[in-house]
Chain A
C-alpha cells in the first residue's frame, strides 16, 4: 500500500462524491468531505486519545468483535496514519461535553472546530472502484446468525484467525471463548440464491473458505473442518492445485450439499442436509462459518445517479464483453468488484486496465498537473564522516515481539561500535514511524541506518526513500531480517531467537559501518512497445498503447490478426464475436502509431528494460530489427485437441468450438438429432492437463441454450464435475436448468464413456442421483475440450521468462503484479497467462498496456545501483570477467595500449561473479564489497573473530 507516499495522489478520506458535471477531459466533481476532528499533520498516532475516551464503540475493522473508542485508528498500518473521531459516537461532537481527548493530546492535534468541506475538483476521467457491499442481514439470520452466537460470518472468522485481530489469532467460539473442535463452512450465503435477489455467483467464496479453513488448521491442527459446497469453484490460475493441496494436507472434508438451516442443540449447532443420492445426514458442530457473498455496494444507486451510469439487474455496474471497463457514460470507467464479483488479482488487473483507458483519454495532458518529488541534496560532508549509526528494532506488532525480546535486542544494539541512536518502533514501516525515523536521522546527524525488522526484499525501498527524504544516500541502509527469517521460524524458541536476532543485528551493523553512498544510474527509454501476438489481447494492448501516444510494433505469427477470437462465433454473453473482432482489427489498422507485422515471430531479444533490440523473422527468409523499450507478451493459447471419447473416430463427436462453427453455418445438421451429450473437463483438471480451463462450463451452457433455441425439442445432457459458471454467468446456468437441460455430475474415478455402435454412438455415465448407469443414445457428443498453452518453451528461453508447471507464463506476483513478468520491462496478458474469457483478456490487455506505458511515459528508468565497478588502475585486461558474465554486462575496451574491463551498468544485475573471479580483486560490487561481507563474517563471531589467526 504505497499510495500514501506518492506526491501525485491526494487522498480524501471521509469523502463522498455528490455530483459530477461536464464532459470527458473536463469534468467537475463535487466531493463532500466530513471532518476527522483530528489534524492529520499534527497527529503522532500515540493512541492517548483512544485511551482516555470514555465512549466505547464496536470496532468495525475487527467486525465488531472488539471494542474501541470514539477517537481511534482502524489499524496500525492505516493510511493516513492519523487517528480520527467517530462523529456519531463522540460526546463532544454530539453533546458539547467531555473534551477529554483534546486535553490529553500532547500534539494538540484534536480540533473540534473542523467543518465539513465541499470540494470542487477538475478531473479529466473518473474511475469508479467502490468495491462490494455486504449481504443483507436477513439472509444471514436465516442461518441463525444473530440468534446463535457461534454462527459467525466469514469476515468475523477472518479477524479471529488474524494475529493482529481481537483474539491475536486464537480461534474461539464467541459463546464461551473456548476453542471449537468442529467447524462447518456453509457456502453460497447470499450468492446463487434468487430468494435474496443475488442470483449470481460471488466467485471468491470457495477460495477464501478453503484459505480460512487451511489457516485455521495451521493454528489448530486437530480441528475437524467440513465445507459444504454446491460446486467447488476454484477456476482461477493455480487455484485448483491449491485446493487439492489444502484438501490433502489438512484433510478438510468436502460435502456437496446446500444446508438449508442451522439449529442449536444443547449449546452446539446441528446441520441437516441432503446428499447427492437423496439420503439425509445430520451432524453437530461447535461453530458455523457463513461464507458471505459479495453484494453490490450499498451506495450503488447513489453512485449511478450521481455519475449518470447504468447498472445491471443485480445493481452492479453495466459493461460489455468488448469493453469491460467502460460504463455507459464516456470518460467514466469502472474497475473491481463493482463491475462484477471478483478476486484480488482480477480487481488489480482491472484497476490497471481502467488506468490505461483514462490515460488514453488524457494522453494530451500527461505530466501537466503532476508534481515531481525533489529530494534534498545529499549531505556529502555528513556521509563522509565516521559512521554514526542509528538502529531501529521493529516490534512488527506482535510478529517479532511475540517471540523475540525486542527491548533486549535494542539494548544490545546500543553497545555496538558506532551506534549513536537506538529505538524500537511498533511498526517501523507505518507512516508515523517513518516520519519519526526521518526526524531522528536529522536530529542525531546519523549517516548509517540499520533496520532490524522484516525482509529487505520487500521493505528496503521504503526505508531507502526515508533516507533520501533527509538527504542521505539510499545505499546507506542495512536491514537485519529478524521476522521472516527469525521470529516467524523459531516461534517455539524465544531465547535462541533473541540470540539470533542479536547476532543478525551485530552483523548488519558491521556491514553498515562500511557502506558507501552509491550513484543512482538511470537510462533512457526507447518509446516503442513490441507486442507479441495479434489476438484479442495483443490487439487491445497495442491499441491502448498507441492511443496513449506510443509507437507499437505488433507481431503476429499467422497471416491475419485475430487469434482465437476469429474462431469464436459468440462471446459468452451471446454477442456476435465477429463484430467484436472486426472492431478490434479496424481500431488497430487505422492507428498510424501501430505497425503490424504478420507471418512474423520473435527470433531473439537482447537488452534490458528501456533498451531492447529484437530480431523478428518475417516469412521464411527475411528478418527485421526492432528497437523498443518494453515487450507485451500476448501469444495466446489454443484449443485442446481431445485424445479420448472417440474424438476423431466419429463425425458425431465434436469440440465446443467445432459445434459453434457448425451452428453458424446453419441448423441442417440438427435435422434428425434427438439427444446431445456434452462432456466437461475433457483434457482439463487432471484429465490430461492439470489446470481448470475456466470457461468451458459457461461455454457449454451457452451452446446448449443456443441448441435449445434452434431446436427446442432436443434433449441435452451436460456431464460435469463442478459447474463453474462464476459471476453473472450463473444466470445462464439457471436458465439452462429452467429450459430442461439435464445436468449429471460425474467424478474422475468414474468417467463417462463414449461407445461406438453399429448405428450411431451411445454415452454411458453413472448417475449419482438415482445410483444407476445411464445409457444415452447420442446424435451428437460435444466435448468441452479446455484451453492448452502454446509451445511456450522456446519463447520462455528467449525472454528468460519462467513458465508455470501447466506451461503458461508465470507472472511476477499472483496478487499484486498479475500482468508483469519477473523480467523487467516484459508484461503479460491474455491466454498466454492462463485460460480466461474474452472479457477478462481485454481487461488484462489494458492492464498490461498501463504497466508497459509507465516506463515509456517516464522516459528514463532507474537501474539498481548494486552494479559492479572496475578499478581500471588495477585491471590487467585478462578478460576473465567478460567471459564469465552471464548477462554480457562487462566488456573489454581499449584504453591507450591496453585493454580494460568496463561495466555496462544498465545490463549488470549485481551478481558479483566478476568480482569473485577477478585475479587482481579490482572489481567492487556496490553495496556488497569484499570489505563489507568480510566485516559481516567477522561479526558472525560474537567476539569479532579475534580468535582467528589475525591474517
Chain B
C-alpha cells in the first residue's frame, strides 16, 4: 500500500472496504469546524454520520461500544 493518502484511499476502495463511521462531535469545536469545512466547500468522503454532543466529555464509553455493536467500522470522537 502506498503512503499517499489519495492513492491509499483508492486502493482501499478497490479492496471494497467502504467503512461506516460514527462520529461524536463536540458542539463548540469539532462540530463547528465541520460546519466551517462546509462553508469552505472542502470535500471529504461521505462515510461518517454525526452525533452532536455539547462536549466530548459527554461521550460515555457505553456509547462507543454500542456504536460498534450497531455496525460501525470506526468511531470518530472530535473535540
Contact = CB atoms under 8 A, between A and B. Distances in A.
Decide if A and B touch, CB cutoff 8 A: yes
Contact of B70 (A458, A915, A940): A940
Contacts of A496: 46
A489 interface: yes
A218 B42 CA distance: 10
A488 B53 contact: no
B57 A916 contact: yes
Contact of B53 (A456, A928, A934): A928
B57 A941 contact: no
Most B CB contacts (10 A, CB to CB) among A455, A483, A910 go to: A455
Contact of A481 (B35, B42, B67): B35
A767 B42 CA distance: 44
Interface stretch (A91-99, A556-564, A709-717, A943-951): A943-951
Interface string B8-49: 000000000000101000010001101101110111111001
A488 B51 contact: no
B59 to A, nearest CB: 7
Instruction: Please classify how large the interface on chain A is, using the bins under 10, 10 to 19, 20 to 34, 35 or more.
Output: 35 or more
A915 B67 CA distance: 19
B58 A489 contact: no
A241 to B, nearest CB: 16
Interface string A906-925: 00011111011000000001
Instruction: Please classify how large the interface on chain B is, using the bins under 10, 10 to 19, 20 to 34, 35 or more.
Output: 20 to 34
Contact of A489 (B42, B55, B63, B66): B42
B7 interface: no
Contact of A493 (B20, B46, B67): B46
Contacts of B72: 940
B49 A940 contact: yes
B70 A455 contact: no
Contact of A913 (B55, B67, B70): B55
A121 interface: no
Interface in A455-486: 455-458, 481, 483-486
A503 B23 CA distance: 13
A491 interface: yes
Contacts of B31: 455, 457
A490 B46 contact: yes
Nearest to B24: A933
Given A933-B51, A945-B69, A948-B70, A913 B58 contact: yes
A203 B59 CA distance: 48
Contact of A928 (B20, B22, B58, B69): B58
A343 interface: no
A936 B31 CA distance: 16
B51 A912 contact: no
B41 A949 contact: no
B60 interface: yes
Given A484-B38, A916-B59, A938 B53 contact: no
A214 to B, nearest CB: 11
Contact of A940 (B42, B43, B67): B67
A504 B47 CA distance: 12
Most A CB contacts (10 A, CB to CB) among B44, B59, B60, B63 go to: B60
A930 B61 CA distance: 12
Contact of A488 (B38, B45, B69): B38
Nearest to B32: A457
A866 interface: yes
A497 interface: yes
Most A CB contacts (10 A, CB to CB) among B53, B54, B55 go to: B54
Nearest to A499: B46
Q: Identify whether the interface residues of A are mostly helix, strand, loop, or mixed.
A: helix
A491 B44 CA distance: 9
Contacts of B58: 911-913, 915-916, 925, 928, 933
B46 to A, nearest CB: 4
A489 B43 contact: yes
A500 interface: yes
B66 A937 contact: yes
A218 B37 CA distance: 14
Contacts of B37: 484-485, 489
A947 B71 contact: yes
A723 B79 CA distance: 43
Contact of B49 (A497, A503, A938): A503
A153 B20 CA distance: 47
A910 B59 CA distance: 13
Nearest to A885: B57
A933 B63 CA distance: 8
B72 to A, nearest CB: 7
Given A490-B46, A493-B46, A866 B67 contact: no
A260 B31 CA distance: 49
A925 B54 contact: yes
Contacts of B43: 489-492
A85 interface: no
Interface in A440-455: 455
Nearest to A483: B38
Contacts of A507: 49, 51
Contacts of A484: 34-35, 37-39
Interface in A362-384: none
B22 A916 contact: no
B37 to A, nearest CB: 6
A604 to B, nearest CB: 24
Contacts of A949: 69
Nearest to A822: B28
Contact of B35 (A457, A490, A928): A457
Most B CB contacts (10 A, CB to CB) among A218, A484, A496, A909 go to: A484
B63 A481 contact: no
Given A457-B27, A457-B32, A949-B69, A485 B38 contact: yes
Nearest to A913: B57
Contact of A866 (B22, B35, B54): B54
A594 to B, nearest CB: 36
A919 B74 CA distance: 27
B41 A934 contact: no
B8 to A, nearest CB: 18
A256 to B, nearest CB: 30
Most B CB contacts (10 A, CB to CB) among A457, A911, A913, A949 go to: A911
A928 B24 CA distance: 12
Contacts of A490: 43-46
A911 B22 contact: no
A484 B66 CA distance: 27
B49 A945 contact: no
A488 B42 CA distance: 8
B53 A500 contact: no
Contacts of A488: 38-39, 41
Contacts of A936: 51
Interface string A204-223: 00000000000000100000
Contact of A485 (B27, B50, B55, B69): B50
Nearest to A487: B38
B49 A504 contact: yes
Nearest to A480: B50
Interface string A248-285: 00000000000000000000000000000000000000
A497 B35 contact: no
A933 B45 CA distance: 24
Contacts of A485: 34-35, 37-38, 50
Contact of B54 (A504, A909, A947, A951): A909
A456 B50 CA distance: 13
A938 B54 contact: no
Nearest 9 A-B pairs (CB), nearest first? A912-B58, A911-B55, A484-B38, A913-B57, A488-B38, A945-B70, A496-B46, A941-B70, A484-B35
6 contacts: A484-B34, A484-B37, A488-B41, A489-B38, A916-B59, A933-B63
Interface of B: 20, 22, 27, 31-32, 34-35, 37-39, 41-46, 49-55, 57-60, 63, 66-67, 69-72
Given A483-B38, A485-B50, A913-B58, 9 more contacts: A488-B38, A490-B46, A866-B54, A912-B53, A916-B60, A936-B51, A937-B51, A940-B22, A947-B70
